[in-house]
Structure 1
Amino acid sequence: MRSKGQTMGERIKLTSGDGFVFNAYQAAPAGTAKGAVVVIHEVWGLNNFVRIEVDRYAAAGYLAIAPALMDRVDLGYESEDYGPTGFARIGELMKEFNQATALPDVEAAIKAVAGAGKVGITGYCFGGATSWRAAHAGLGLSAASGYYGGGLLNYIDLAPQVPTEMHYAEADHGIPLEQVEALRKRYPDMGIYLYPGDHGFCNFDRADKYHAASAKLANERTLAFFAKHLA
């Protein structure tokens, strides 16, 4: 894992279908890309965690990109404040955020990397729910692997149109196990995984949430899933 500031990618601009120009972070593999991966951030925007996740997918051989979906309400927003002040700011932003803008901005990111081959999508929390919605919309995607997407039951009837898997935490009080089981019942043939730990178990910048063994296993599953469906 690289420390802060040691990223391998670059910050770029994307233009959505309505002409809105927003930020993104992109990293390319050392050799020929074997496909592309769109990484959807948590509610903290293009912070250290999501940039290093983009780099990790690039190191695995994919052209990877993370669009800054929060730019619609606060252009350039990104935060690593996981305390009360940070959560208060997130609450303010989410009151203003219009979910209708998310998928067009995701589609702009997909189009930006589609030249590398088949495109997969992944994301965390806010990004996990967005990944599910994108899998339902299609948008030129070939696979989706989402992590602890909030508002699960709000989207349960949005059946994915591409191969999809989802990852959840056993101790996530925001997404009770009953909701995960409801998802499993609705989609019995889908890979829906539970891991020890809490919401946010992949975020290595959150000592109170990170669960290394769970993150490792979930990441391995996602890479195997993309290797199968993006080939």
Structure 2
Amino acid sequence: MGQTIELTASDGARIAGYRADPEGPAKGGIVVIQEIFGLNHHIRAVCDRFAAQGYLAVAPAMQDRWAPGFEVNDYGPEQFAKSRAFFGSFRPEQGLADVAAAVEVAKEAGKVGITGYCFGGMVTWRAAHAGLRLAAASGFYGGGIPNYIDLAPTIPIEMHFGDRDTGIPLEQIEQLRARYPQVPVYLYPAGHGFFNDERQSSYDAASAATAWQRTLDFFAQHLQ
């Protein structure tokens, strides 16, 4: 259903991306932001799922500036370590430029939303603050909330967290709720990474299904 494309950011950087088109007329565009594991099989599958729902989905390869083609699919300890090394090179401004490049493609379908997981959840929150010609955002278990809590969203956004996430304490989630009572913040009986059905150690089918439907409903409300 999808294909690999090239994206060009405003600073001239060229990165890979994945594009999945719906079979019929598009309802809108969705930018999908990866976990720290690269533009891997799971993220491409998420794009395909959005395309099956009628959206043009575009995922930028957020690590391509430092490790072109980086992709992890087995989620073992060694691969986790390699993935985390990415944070030493990541620059938020460059990340937002890469998101904007994906938006430029996705807007062919009309209004554009953004969603992301783990690292991508954090990028989604920052993108919702920056605007980037986005219309809505749905972020999943973005870490480091206290670091970005002052970045008030400028577009409609919802957030999804697991109440058993050892990396994101409940106190941080409650801080977010208290600061932005207008933002729907959903808690699920699950841990970190509960949406990734290729990580069996953390995947929670019931929570993932509920979060997926909420995301679809949210985008239907704001993009169509």
**TM-score between the two structures when normalised by the length of structure 2:** 0.98
SS of match in other structure, 1:85: helix
> Is the counterpart of residue 164 in structure 1 residue 157 in structure 2?
yes
Gaps of 5+ in 2: none
Amino acid across the alignment from 2:90 = F
SS of match in other structure, 2:129: helix
**TM-score between the two structures when normalised by the length of structure 1:** 0.95
Report the Cα distance in structure 2 between the residues aligned to 1:30 and 1:91, rounded to whole angstroms. 36
Structure 1 residue 104: deviation in Å?
Answer: 0.5
Report the Cα distance in structure 2 between the residues aligned to 1:75 and 1:85, rounded to whole angstroms. 19
Structure 1 residue 47: deviation in Å?
Answer: 0.7
Report the Cα distance in structure 1 between the residues aligned to 2:42 and 2:180, rounded to whole angstroms. 30
Q: Matched residue pairs, number?
A: 224
> Is the counterpart of residue 58 in structure 1 residue 44 in structure 2?
no
Equivalent in the alignment of 2:213: 220
Q: In the alignment, which of 80, 86, 103 is matched to residue 87 of structure 1?
A: 80
CA contact (8 A) 2:30 2:113 kept: yes
Structure 1 residue 168: deviation in Å?
Answer: 0.2
Percentage of pairs with the same residue: 56
SS of match in other structure, 2:93: helix
Aligned pairs for 1:175-194 within 5 A = 175-194=168-187
Q: In the alignment, which of 139, 149, 157 is matched to residue 142 of structure 2?
A: 149
Equivalent in the alignment of 2:123: 130
Amino acid across the alignment from 1:198 = G
Q: In the alignment, which of 37, 53, 57 is matched to residue 44 of structure 1?
A: 37
> Is the counterpart of residue 202 in structure 1 residue 195 in structure 2?
yes
SS of match in other structure, 2:25: coil
Amino acid across the alignment from 2:144 = G
Cα-Cα RMSD:
0.7
Report the Cα distance in structure 1 between the residues aligned to 2:38 and 2:83, rounded to whole angstroms. 10
SS of match in other structure, 1:69: coil
> Is the counterpart of residue 32 in structure 1 residue 50 in structure 2?
no
Structure 1 residue 54: deviation in Å?
Answer: 0.3
CA contact (8 A) 2:36 2:84 kept: no
> After superposition, what is the alpha-carbon deviation per residue over 1:138-196, rounded to whole angstroms, capped at 9, x for unaligned?
00000000000011111111011000000000100110111101100001121100001
Once the two structures are overlaid, the 10-residue window that deviates more, 103-112 or 77-86, is 77-86
Structure 1 residue 206: deviation in Å?
Answer: 0.6
SS of match in other structure, 1:26: strand
Report the Cα distance in structure 2 between the residues aligned to 1:188 and 1:96, rounded to whole angstroms. 34
Gaps of 5+ in 1: 1-7
Structure 1 residue 55: deviation in Å?
Answer: 0.4
